[in-house]
Amino acid sequence: MNSLRKQGIIIFSILSLVIVACGGAAEEEVVEEAVVEEPAESLDSPAVTTATSVKTGTGVTEDPCPAEIGGVPTGADPNKGCIYLGMLNDFTGPFAPAGPGLEVAQRAFWLWANSAGGIGEYSVAIKESFDTGYNPQKHLEGYTALKDDVAALSMSLGTVQTLFILDEMDKDNMVAVPMSWWSGWSYKDSDKGLVIEFGSQYCADGMNAVDWSLANLGDIKTVGIMGFAGDYGSDWAAGVAKAAEANGLEVAWTYTPPATEFDVAQAVGLMVTQPVDAYYPAINAGFMAQVAGGAAQQGITPFAILAGPSYNDAFVQEGFALKGLFESGAIYAMGLGVAPYEADTPGHAVMRATMSQIVDSANSFLVAGWSSQYHLKGVLEAAYKGGDISRAGIRRAAANVTVESDGMFPSRTLGQDRADAQAYIGIPDGSIGSGQRVLAEGYVGSTAKSYDWTSGACS
């Protein structure tokens, strides 16, 4: 497959197979382009008022968005201009099973948003996505291929990968939504005001995983930490280690190599030779199944509390060899920074109504993809109201505006140096569409409550 997704691939029709295998109308803004008065307040202020003219730039056209891209409908209004977004995803690397769900959900979100009014006099369309393979160099290649045609990135998958292109983004005033929950995205000295964060962070989830397991899973004295190095697994590991220390637990081993060097046999060997009461993995779903299954074959089944990206609903689908293990009560999973598919919020309801017309799935990656776009939508709306949807205007909006998400996340003012710590914890359950039953919603344990979140990234 070429790096840019081929036109003939229709993601909506193939997504359900890939996953198994691993609002009312909004009021439109009226733009009077002949009037050139300056906005009463600039985007440098959190209070953004409606401007009387709109400045545009790269990735914004007066021509309408295509009716479909790559066989996928956009829901664009043919009488409006177009704001184009880019997408850096993973279809061939360690998170390839997640890539289609993330993409289809983001495209579905903008189909719904366009049908509900779009962004003032503009609809929004995602260009064909670029497959980075979770490789930093390919991530840069993808960015270079897309940057001259888009106003912002709807997704940049991976922490290290996004950090690798951050200097280029800075030069271009390119704002991105990370498909990554590194704690550093909440601090502007880390992300240069270019990243629109959403959801709880890996570090906080690691803390909450330990605190919750101590309160709910019985006697835990020794723990193991497992993850991919590079600010996904490292950030999670830092949170787990901080909570272990705070609770007087012994960390028997920590195994956090780069994703490309992760050795299942070595991970299982640690569990067999140095048994623990519980372990906390932040890897991908493919390795997770191999690690849990390999340890179980050796008679080792400690409690496991998984970072969100380590879990896939395929683990509890009929016919999966390890379904019984994952539903045994020994394994639990954190959410992907947001409540699962079945949650009772207006945002989840809109998502379900839209997604049910596209795919027969409640996969957690659909929820992550959909919810990730709410804050970007709020930023684009603020930039439009402030009269500047050039990249510079979008960047200014992303640095200070308050964004909502129809209840999927708490209201958040962007640009503040703090991390969100509310976690969602579930137990694998094949009788539920998302593959997990929620046990704790909006949970914040004692370690996260007492931690100084103004101090910067955990890793």
Residues 9, 103 contacting (CB under 8 angstroms):
no
Which pLDDT score is estimated for 230? 83
Structural contact between residues 446 and 211, judged by C-beta atoms closer than 8 angstroms? yes
Neighbouring CB atoms inside 10 A of 172's CB total 18
- Model confidence over 239-257: pLDDT tens digits? 999 999 999 999 999 999 9
In our burial notation (b when 16+ CB lie closer than 10 A, e otherwise), range 379-416 reads: bbbbbbbbbbbbbebbbbbbbbbebebebbbeebebbe
Q: Give me the pLDDT at residue 416, please.
A: 78
List, in sequence order, the alpha helices (H) in 22-120: 99-115
CATH code, 202-336+421-455: 3.40.50.2300
Q: Is the domain 11-180+341-408 a CATH 3.40.50.2300 member?
A: yes
Per-residue pLDDT of the chain (459 residues; tens, 9 = 90+): 444 443 333 344 434 333 333 433 333 333 333 333 343 344 455 445 667 789 999 999 999 999 999 778 999 999 999 999 999 999 999 999 999 999 999 999 999 999 999 999 999 999 989 999 999 999 999 999 999 999 999 999 999 999 999 999 999 999 999 999 999 998 887 888 899 999 889 999 999 999 999 999 989 999 999 999 988 999 999 999 999 999 999 999 999 999 999 999 999 999 999 999 999 999 999 999 999 999 999 999 999 999 999 999 999 999 999 999 999 999 999 988 888 899 999 999 999 999 998 888 888 899 999 999 999 999 999 999 999 999 999 999 998 888 999 999 888 888 777 778 889 999 999 999 999 999 998 899 999 999 998 888 898
Rounded CA-CA distance 70/85 in Å is 14
Residue 345's SS3 state is coil
Radius of gyration of the chain (CA): 22
Cβ neighbours around 65 below 10 Å, total: 25
Number of residues that this document lists for the chain: 459
Segment 293-347, tens digit of pLDDT: 999 999 999 999 999 999 999 999 999 999 999 999 999 999 888 888 999 999 9
- Which helix or strand (DSSP H or E) is residue 222 part of? strand 222-227
Rounded distance between C-alpha atoms, residue 332 and residue 307, angstroms: 9
Per-domain residue ranges for the chain? 11-180+341-408, 202-336+421-455
pTM: 0.87
DSSP letter string over 319-356? T-TTHHHHTSSSEEEE-SSS--TT--SHHHHHHHHHHT
